[in-house]
């Protein structure tokens, strides 16, 4: 009886293996679906990681925590703020950030750089990403009136190992104004490259803030048409653009 049933079992196994194709196909199908879904979940996780990274950058930057800020960059990462030029590598970035104030926020200073309105795109392979952010700015320093600022971040990110880092941070301030006067009456210029600690490269794009109305180029494609978002910059007689 035992023998008989083991023969039967062997037969059943043989039968199922001769009829192997449908279940095996289904099995392959299941594996393929799980693999595809894992990819999609990983891209969502990548996006959240990039959004957190950039938000953290803002919280550190607000308080002048320059070492913490610089450590968010990839090796060889770049930092560019307005017309100050491009600084490359963590050590150079950490020193350049001292141009924005002392390490740790000094008394009577406000250095808020809010990171808002994120549009993050992760590359299909999950190794790189881009992000556009609305950068509202609130500044004050001793002896000066408070300042409002606006601008756009267009950044790139890279995943090294399993950690997302900033590959390039490019903040395009587009306007600064005196808190009391407002945009219609006060249009403050941007700082140029520092003579004390010159950048590694000149500004990658030459533009000026308000009264010009510069449009920081879009890294991402039009979400509906899928086409590149092409914009025409306003004429600017000083920059020499028609």
> Alpha-carbon torsion 217, 223, 226, 232, what sign?
negative
CB of 153 within 8 A of CB of 170? yes
Q: Is 146 in the site for another protein (CB under 8 A)?
A: no
Which region, judged by CB under 8 A, interacts with another protein, from 60-68, 73-81, 99-107, 112-120? 112-120
Q: Is 117 in the site for another protein (CB under 8 A)?
A: yes
Residue 100 or 220: the one with the smaller Cβ distance to another protein is: 220
Which of 202-233 are b and which e, b meaning 16 or more Cβ less than 10 Å from the residue's Cβ?
ebeeebbbbebebebbbbeeeeeeeeeeeeee
Output the CA–CA distances (angstroms, integers) from residue 211 to 57, 90, 184, 188, 235, in the order listed: 28, 33, 9, 9, 11
Q: Is 127 in the site for another protein (CB under 8 A)?
A: no
From 111, 112, 156, 213, residue interacting with another protein (rule: CB under 8 A):
213
Instruction: Count residues binding another protein (CB under 8 A).
Output: 58
From 8, 108, 146, 206, residue interacting with another protein (rule: CB under 8 A):
8
Residue 33 or 201: the one with the smaller Cβ distance to another protein is: 33
Q: What are the residues binding another protein (CB under 8 A)? A: 4-5, 7-9, 11-13, 15-16, 19, 23, 26, 30, 33-34, 37, 40-41, 44, 47, 116-119, 132, 134, 136, 148, 150, 152, 174-175, 181-185, 210-215, 218, 220, 222-226, 229, 231-236
């Amino acid at each position: 009886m035992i023998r008989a049933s083991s023969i039967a079992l062997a037969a059943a196994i043989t039968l199922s293996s001769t009829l192997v194709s449908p279940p095996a196909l289904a099995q392959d199908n299941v594996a393929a679906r799980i693999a595809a879904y894992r990819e999609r979940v990983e891209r969502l996780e990548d996006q959240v990681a990039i959004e957190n990274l950039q938000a953290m950058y803002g919280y550190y930057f607000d308080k002048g925590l320059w070492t913490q800020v610089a450590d968010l960059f990839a090796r060889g990462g770049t930092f560019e703020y307005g017309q100050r030029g491009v600084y490359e590598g963590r050590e150079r970035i950490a020193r350049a950030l001292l141009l924005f104030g002392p390490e740790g926020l000094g008394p009577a200073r406000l250095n808020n750089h809010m990171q808002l309105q994120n549009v993050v795109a992760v590359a299909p392979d999950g190794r790189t990403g881009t992000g556009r952010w609305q950068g509202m700015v609130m500044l004050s320093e001793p002896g000066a009136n408070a300042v409002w600022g606006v601008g756009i971040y267009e950044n790139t990110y890279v995943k090294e190992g399993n950690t997302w880092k900033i590959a390039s941070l490019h903040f395009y301030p587009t306007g600064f104004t005196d808190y009391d006067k407002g945009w219609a009456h006060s249009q403050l210029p941007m700082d140029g490259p520092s003579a004390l600690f010159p950048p590694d490269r000149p500004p990658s794009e030459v533009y000026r803030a308000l009264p010009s109305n510069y449009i920081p180029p879009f890294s991402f494609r039009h979400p509906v048409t899928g086409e590149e978002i092409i914009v025409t910059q306003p004429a600017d007689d000083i920059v020499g653009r028609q």
